[in-house]
C-alpha cells in the first residue's frame, strides 16, 4: 500500500506538480473518509426517540461530543497538511509557475480547508437520512393527527377553554370577543363567569396608506382591536355592533367546546408560549378566528365527536394520543380510562379537571396574577388541578424537531460561516506562499496601524462634529481601502520589493472589506433618499430593504468578486516576484 501511494505521489510530482505541491488529492481522500465517519455518527445520533424532545435536535452536532471530535480532527488535519506543504518550501522559491497555476493553488487551499472543517454537514445529513427513513411522512402525519385531536382534551391551561376562545358554534368565529372590563358596554348583552366578562361584536375595517395610519389610530383608539400591513397599505380592524349570542351558547363556563387552538401544524412557526401558533392572521386579539383548513378540520372532527357522545370512539381517540406519547417516550402518568373519567362530560363538556405539564414535584409555582378581577377565576382554576400530568411541551418538541430535520436545508446560512473561515485561512496561507513570513507579519502590523489611525480620525472627528453620519465614516474607510488597492494594482514597481510585498498583501486582504463597505454606502444612500421622500419618521418608513436583510446574497456576491479579483491579480503577484531585491 505504501508503494502504491509513493508511485501515485511520484506521478503527480512529474505530471502535475501544482497538484502534488498542494496535496489536494490526499487531503480530499482523507477528508472523504472522515466525512463518511461523521455521516455514520449522524445515523445513530437520534436512535432514541427521547432525544427528539431536546431543543433544536437538527443541530445536535454542536451539543454533543461530535463537535469537539470534529474540531480536533480539523485542527490536526489542517496542521498536518500545512506541515507537508512547508516541507516543500523550495518549490515556491525556485519552481516557475503561471498565474493560472498560482490561482489554482489558492482555489485548492479553499477546497481543502472547507472540506476539512465541514464535518457538521456529513453528521447532519446522516441524521436527516435516519429520520427520513424511520419517520416517514405518512407515519408523522398519522401521529400528528392523533396528537392534535387528543390535545384538545389535555386541559392544562384553563384560559384555553374560556368563552372568548370559542369558534363553535360557527357564528362565534365571525365575532370579536371583548374581555377588557373597561371596554365592555354593560347596558348591552354580555356574559359572565366568575369575575370574567365577555361581550361579542361584529368587526369592521378601514384601509389607509401606511404613512397615514397614525391618524386613523387616533380616530379608532376606543374600538380598534388590531391592524396589519399589506404592501403600502394598512388595514385597521375595529369593533362595530354588539351582538346577542345567547341562543348560540352551549355553556358560559370553561368548556372543551370553546377550545380553538391547535397543538401543532407543519409549516407553522411556534411563538414560544406553548399554547398557540402564529399563522397569517390579520391581527392580534382576533387571530384565533383565522385558521388553516387543517386546523378547522381537526376542530370539526372533535366537535362532531362531542356531538355524538360516542364514549367508545372518545376513549379510542384518547388512547391513540397516549400511544403517540408512549412511542416518543413522553412522560405521563395517565391511562386512557382515567383520562376518560376526567374529561368526558357529554352534557356541556365543562372543564372539571386540569392536568399538570410535568410531575407535580417538578412544577414551579407561577407568579401570582396581579389582576384582582381574575382572582375568582384563578381560585376556580386552582381548585380543579389534579396530580395527573403529561409533558405536552416535550411532545410538541418532537414534532417540531421532526419537521425541522425533514424540511430544513442545512446549507442555508451556515455555509457562509464555513466559506468565510476557509477564505480567511486560505488567503493567509496564500499570502505566505507568494511572499514570506516576514512580509506577512509586517502586513498584519501595517493593517493594525491603519485600523488604529482610522479609529483615531473617526473618534476625533466625532468629538468635533457630534452629527458625524455613517455616510462620512463609510466614505473615509472606502477611500483608505481603495487608495491602498490602487497602489497595489498600478504602482507596485515604484516601491522597494519589501514595501511592495506589504502593499500587495494588503491589496489582497482589503478587497473583501472594500466590497462590503461599498454595499453599506449604497444602502445608506438608498435609505437616506427614501426617508427624504416620506413624511414620517425613520422607524415607520417603508423604504428599500436594507442590504442586511439580503446578507446571504451579498455574501455570495462579495466572495465571487473577491475570487475573480484574486484571479486577475495573480499576474501582479508574478510581476512582484520578478522585482529585484534591492
pLDDT of residue 92: 55
Question: Would the pLDDT of 65 be above 60?
Answer: yes
Residue 389 · residue 359 · CB < 8 Å: yes
Question: Would the pLDDT of 32 be above 50?
Answer: yes
- The 10s digit of each residue's pLDDT in 138-172 is 999 999 999 999 999 999 999 999 998 998 888 88
pLDDT of residue 435: 87
Confidence grade of residue 95 (pLDDT, cut at 50, 70, 90): low
| CB-based contacts of 391, cutoff 8 Å, min separation 6 | 330, 331, 332, 357, 358
pLDDT of residue 41: 95
Most confident of 167-181, 256-270, 421-435, 517-531: 421-435
Q: 41-55, 329-343, 446-460, 546-560: which range is least confident on average? A: 546-560
Q: pLDDT exceeding 70 applies to what percent of the chain? A: 85
d(CA 343, CA 360) in angstroms, rounded, equals 20
pLDDT of residue 3: 75
User: Between these two residues, 459 and 138, which has the higher pLDDT value?
Assistant: 138
Residue 58 · residue 408 · CB < 8 Å: yes
Burial of 116 (0-12, 13-18, 19+ CB in 10 A): buried
pLDDT of residue 14: 73
- The 10s digit of each residue's pLDDT in 176-204 is 888 888 889 899 999 999 889 999 998 88
pLDDT of residue 90: 52
- The 10s digit of each residue's pLDDT in 279-308 is 333 344 444 456 788 898 999 999 999 999
Q: pLDDT exceeding 90 applies to what percent of the chain? A: 52
The pTM for the full model equals 0.81
Question: Would the pLDDT of 529 be above 80?
Answer: no
∠ CA 245-249-255, nearest 5°, is 140
Q: 14-23, 55-64, 120-129, 444-453: which range is least confident on average? A: 14-23
pLDDT of residue 270: 43
User: Between these two residues, 563 and 89, which has the higher pLDDT value?
Assistant: 563
Q: What is the DSSP string of 228-277?
A: EEETTEEEEEEEEEEE--GGG-S-SSSBGGG----S--TTPEE-SSSS-E
Q: Mean pLDDT throughout 515-532?
A: 82
Q: 2-16, 60-74, 153-167, 296-310: which range is least confident on average? A: 2-16
Neighbours of 442 (CB within 10 A): 17
Nearest to 134 by CA among 123, 126, 124: 126
Amino acid at each position: 500500500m505504501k508503494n502504491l501511494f509513493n508511485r501515485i505521489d511520484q506521478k503527480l510530482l512529474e505530471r502535475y506538480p501544482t497538484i502534488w505541491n498542494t496535496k489536494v488529492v490526499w487531503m480530499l481522500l482523507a477528508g472523504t473518509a472522515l466525512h463518511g465517519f461523521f455521516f455514520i455518527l449522524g445515523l445513530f445520533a437520534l436512535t432514541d426517540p427521547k432525544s427528539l424532545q431536546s431543543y433544536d435536535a437538527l443541530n445536535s452536532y454542536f451539543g454533543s461530543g461530535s463537535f469537539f471530535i470534529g474540531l480536533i480532527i480539523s485542527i490536526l488535519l489542517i496542521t498536518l497538511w500545512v506541515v507537508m506543504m512547508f516541507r516543500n518550501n523550495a518549490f515556491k522559491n525556485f519552481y516557475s509557475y503561471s498565474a493560472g497555476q498560482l490561482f489554482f493553488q489558492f482555489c485548492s487551499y479553499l477546497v481543502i480547508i472547507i472540506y476539512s472543517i465541514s464535518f457538521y454537514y456529513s453528521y447532519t445529513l446522516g441524521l436527516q437520512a435516519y429520520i427520513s427513513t424511520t419517520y416517514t411522512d405518512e407515519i408523522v402525519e398519522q401521529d400528528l393527527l392523533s396528537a392534535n385531536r387528543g390535545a384538545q382534551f389535555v386541559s392544562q391551561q384553563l384560559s384555553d377553554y374560556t368563552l372568548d376562545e370559542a369558534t363553535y358554534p360557527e357564528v362565534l368565529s365571525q365575532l370579536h370577543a371583548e374581555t377588557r372590563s373597561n371596554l365592555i358596554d354593560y347596558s348591552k348583552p354580555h356574559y359572565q363567569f366568575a369575575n370574567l366578562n365577555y361581550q361579542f361584536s361584529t368587526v369592521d375595517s378601514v384601509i389607509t396608506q401606511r404613512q397615514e395610519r397614525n391618524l386613523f389610530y387616533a380616530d379608532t383608539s376606543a374600538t380598534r382591536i388590531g391592524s396589519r400591513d399589506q404592501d403600502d397599505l394598512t388595514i385597521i380592524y375595529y369593533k362595530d355592533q354588539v351582538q346577542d349570542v345567547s341562543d348560540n351558547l352551549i355553556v358560559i363556563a370553561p368548556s372543551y367546546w370553546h377550545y380553538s387552538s391547535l397543538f401543532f401544524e407543519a409549516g407553522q412557526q411556534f411563538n414560544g408560549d406553548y399554547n398557540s401558533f402564529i399563522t397569517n392572521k390579520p391581527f392580534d386579539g382576533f387571530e384565533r378566528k383565522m385558521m388553516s383548513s387543517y386546523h378547522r378540520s381537526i376542530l370539526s372532527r372533535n366537535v362532531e365527536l362531542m356531538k355524538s357522545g360516542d364514549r367508545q370512539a372518545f376513549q379510542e381517540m384518547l388512547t391513540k394520543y397516549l400511544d403517540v406519547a408512549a412511542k416518543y417516550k413522553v412522560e405521563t402518568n395517565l391511562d386512557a380510562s382515567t383520562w376518560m373519567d376526567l374529561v368526558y362530560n357529554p352534557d356541556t363538556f365543562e372543564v372539571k379537571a386540569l392536568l399538570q405539564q410535568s410531575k407535580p414535584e417538578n412544577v414551579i409555582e407561577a407568579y401570582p396574577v396581579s389582576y384582582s378581577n381574575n382572582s375568582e377565576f384563578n381560585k376556580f382554576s386552582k381548585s380543579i388541578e389534579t396530580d395527573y400530568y403529561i409533558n405536552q411541551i416535550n411532545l410538541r418538541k418532537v414534532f417540531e424537531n421532526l419537521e425541522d430535520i425533514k424540511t430544513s436545508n442545512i446549507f442555508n446560512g451556515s455555509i457562509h460561516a464555513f466559506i468565510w473561515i476557509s477564505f480567511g485561512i486560505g488567503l493567509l496561507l496564500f499570502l505566505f506562499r507568494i511572499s514570506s513570513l516576514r512580509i506577512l507579519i509586517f502586513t498584519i502590523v501595517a493593517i493594525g496601524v491603519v485600523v488604529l489611525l482610522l479609529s483615531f480620525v473617526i473618534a476625533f472627528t466625532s468629538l468635533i462634529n457630534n452629527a458625524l453620519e455613517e455616510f462620512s465614516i463609510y466614505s473615509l474607510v472606502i477611500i483608505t481601502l481603495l487608495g491602498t488597492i490602487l497602489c497595489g494594482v498600478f504602482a507596485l514597481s515604484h516601491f522597494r520589493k519589501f514595501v511592495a510585498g506589504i502593499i500587495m498583501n494588503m491589496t489582497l486582504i482589503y478587497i473583501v472589506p472594500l466590497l462590503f463597505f461599498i454595499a453599506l454606502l449604497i444602502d445608506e444612500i438608498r435609505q437616506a433618499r427614501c426617508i427624504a421622500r416620506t413624511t414620517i419618521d425613520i422607524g415607520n418608513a417603508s423604504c428599500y430593504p436594507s442590504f442586511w436583510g439580503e446578507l446571504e446574497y451579498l455574501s455570495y456576491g462579495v466572495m465571487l468578486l473577491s475570487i475573480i479579483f484574486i484571479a486577475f491579480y495573480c499576474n501582479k503577484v508574478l510581476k512582484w516576484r520578478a522585482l529585484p531585491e534591492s
